[in-house]
Amino acid sequence: MKSAAAWLACARPETVDSFLAGLSDGALMGLPWLFEFWALPHQLPPEGVWKTWVIMGGRGAGKTRAGAEWVRREVEGSRPRDPGRSARVALVGETLDQVQKVMVFGESGIMACSPPDRRPVWEATKRRLVWPNGAVAEVYSAHDPDSLRGPQFDAAWADELAKWPKAGEAWDMLQFALRLGRDPRQVVTTTPQNVGALKAILNNPTTVVTQAPTEANRAYLAASFLEEVRTRYGGTRLGRQELEGLLIEDVEGALWTTATIDGCRSGPPEALSRIVVAVDPPVSGHESSDECGIVVVGVLTEGPPSQWRAWVLEDASLGAASPDAWARAAIAAMERHGADRLVAEVNQGGALVESVLRTIDPTLPYRAVHAARGKSARAEPVAALYEQGRVHHLRGLSMLEDQMCRMTIRGYDGKGSPDRVDALVWALTELVVAPAQRWRRPQVRRL
């Protein structure tokens, strides 16, 4: 869905001329300030009944502009001195300085968005904005939740809440203060982060959410910026959070965290000693089947096994697929990477797994592995390799990484089966964990 401005930008010249010619002089003068005309869909308030509107988006997605325009929409009336829906507004940010620099005087802040005849006056000593109709917006810092005790409001704008140092306390104090008018409301503009206060707000039934990636606002962003962040962060968990505006959660007791995975990001290795493709095949091949985990991992075997380092090269996993489809995909991954061996779990398929693979390639170097322990127990030695900084990830592994961050010491905290993680564990067990165990095993001398 495009904005009206986007439609006009794509229209033929004669259509544009006809549209503009049909506007009065007053309408032409007011058009630059009519945000409903220029706004992207995620920047407009949702319809229906709600208490909190959360605008989650990537960096530069237009969140600040949306928040500033919502405040305008709340306080302005039909004419400059007419009352609006709200008259007492709280502007809350990480610090007082951030509120002033971004929310009030920023390039997309309230002052920049306001037409001359409706522009509020900044009263620096009182840290507040005052509109021609008497509406007032006061500035508060999330560092000082108690400053929200006492005042009362009928609207509030909370910016970058996921960064607030005392988010839970500040948000609670704001809720007690939001008690004026018949239907006080608030907007939250933030790049999502895995913090409890934001997740609690999102889970509230009176909350509505709009979401957009950085790309949605590309017309107003430098092309060099977009190219740089795509190159550096595309296909990473951090990129999904900061560019796609998605909430990436860490589960309590997870064997891997977002910080751990982001810390193991690496470019391709110069050389590898061995490469394997590990497969965790589904039990069946119909539409409701689990995924088929197919993960490619290489290892550099310099020094004793305790010093070996591994690189996760590709996640070639498939959705529900027939045995022939996943077998061909696994063998194709071997060919792409010049892998030395294919490792497959056979607890469910038994000899059928090897049979399917060998119908495609009879000479396939193959090892069958059996799961004698639970998924978490098998994964713990592999998670330890990550803690030691011995496993590196190339880009483009976000779906695998999402599963990893939901794998806990109690089991998998997600839907379905963690087939991608299972394949990863089998690959790293084959390449690093098992050789290290054999290296440490004491030699028995026979007389």
The answer to whether 317 and 294 have CB atoms below 8 angstroms apart is: yes
Per-residue pLDDT tens for 393-410?
998 898 899 899 889 888
> pLDDT-derived band of residue 347, with 50, 70 and 90 as boundaries?
confident
Phi, psi of 394 (to 5 degrees): -80, 175
Give the closest residue to 184 by CA, choosing from 148, 203, 214, 157: 157
- For residue 239, the model assigns a pLDDT of 77
Q: Which residues in 161-256 belong to E strands, given as ranges?
A: 185-190, 207-212
Least confident of 61-65, 411-415, 417-421: 411-415
SS3 of 183, please?
A: coil
Per-residue pLDDT tens for 267-295?
889 899 999 999 999 866 555 567 899 99
Q: How far apart are CA 109 and CA 67, in angstroms?
A: 8
Which strands sit side by side in the sheet containing 88-93, from one edge to the other? 121-123, 128-130, 136-141, 88-93, 155-159, 185-190, 52-57, 207-212
Least confident of 192-201, 280-289, 337-346, 350-359: 280-289
Give the closest residue to 360 by CA, choosing from 340, 331, 337, 320: 331
Strand-pair category, 341-345 with 121-123? unpaired
Per-residue pLDDT tens for 101-150?
999 999 999 999 999 999 999 999 999 999 999 999 999 999 999 999 99
Q: How far apart are CA 159 and CA 151, in angstroms?
A: 19
> pLDDT-derived band of residue 9, with 50, 70 and 90 as boundaries?
low
* Token duo for residue 381: 């030695």
> pLDDT-derived band of residue 316, with 50, 70 and 90 as boundaries?
very high
Mean pLDDT of the chain: 87
* Token duo for residue 314: 């590709």
**Residue 350 in this model has a pLDDT that exceeds 80:** no
- For residue 1, the model assigns a pLDDT of 45
Per-residue pLDDT tens for 416-430?
889 999 999 999 999
Give the closest residue to 166 by CA, choosing from 148, 149, 186, 144: 144
Q: How far apart are CA 222 and CA 234, in angstroms?
A: 17
* Token duo for residue 123: 């009263």
Could you write out the DSSP letters of every residue in 282-319? -S--STTSPPBEEEEEEEE--SSGGG-EEEEEEE--BS
Phi, psi of 379 (to 5 degrees): -80, -25
Mean pLDDT of 61-82: 93
Percent of the chain residues topping a pLDDT of 70: 89
Least confident of 164-168, 243-247, 441-445: 441-445
Q: Which helix (H) or strand (E) holds 412?
A: strand 411-412
The answer to whether 80 and 207 have CB atoms below 8 angstroms apart is: no
Q: Which helix (H) or strand (E) holds 424?
A: helix 419-428
**Residue 383 in this model has a pLDDT that exceeds 50:** yes
> pLDDT-derived band of residue 442, with 50, 70 and 90 as boundaries?
low
Mean pLDDT of 332-361: 90
Distances (CA, A) of 425 to 277, 314, 339, 382: 11, 14, 17, 6
Q: Is the dihedral of CA 329, 331, 335, 341 positive or negative?
A: positive
Distances (CA, A) of 395 to 232, 261, 265, 365, 401: 9, 11, 7, 27, 10
Least confident of 17-21, 111-115, 253-257: 17-21
Q: How far apart are CA 82 and CA 105, in angstroms?
A: 24
Neighbouring residues of 208: CB distance < 8 A, sequence distance ≥ 6 = 46, 48, 50, 52, 53, 54
- For residue 284, the model assigns a pLDDT of 61
Q: How far apart are CA 421 and CA 293, in angstroms?
A: 7
Q: How far apart are CA 142 and CA 57, in angstroms?
A: 21
Name the H helices within 78-139. Answer: 96-98, 110-113
Give the closest residue to 156 by CA, choosing from 186, 194, 124, 114: 186
Q: How far apart are CA 421 and CA 428, in angstroms?
A: 11
Q: How far apart are CA 269 and CA 256, in angstroms?
A: 22
Per-residue pLDDT tens for 178-236?
999 999 999 999 988 878 899 899 999 999 999 888 888 887 788 888 888 777 777 67
Name the H helices within 114-203. Answer: 167-177, 196-203
Mean pLDDT of 322-343: 95
Distances (CA, A) of 159 to 54, 188, 215: 10, 6, 20
Q: Which helix (H) or strand (E) holds 130?
A: strand 128-130
Q: How far apart are CA 190 and CA 346, in angstroms?
A: 46
Q: How far apart are CA 132 and CA 238, in angstroms?
A: 43
Mean pLDDT of 60-87: 93
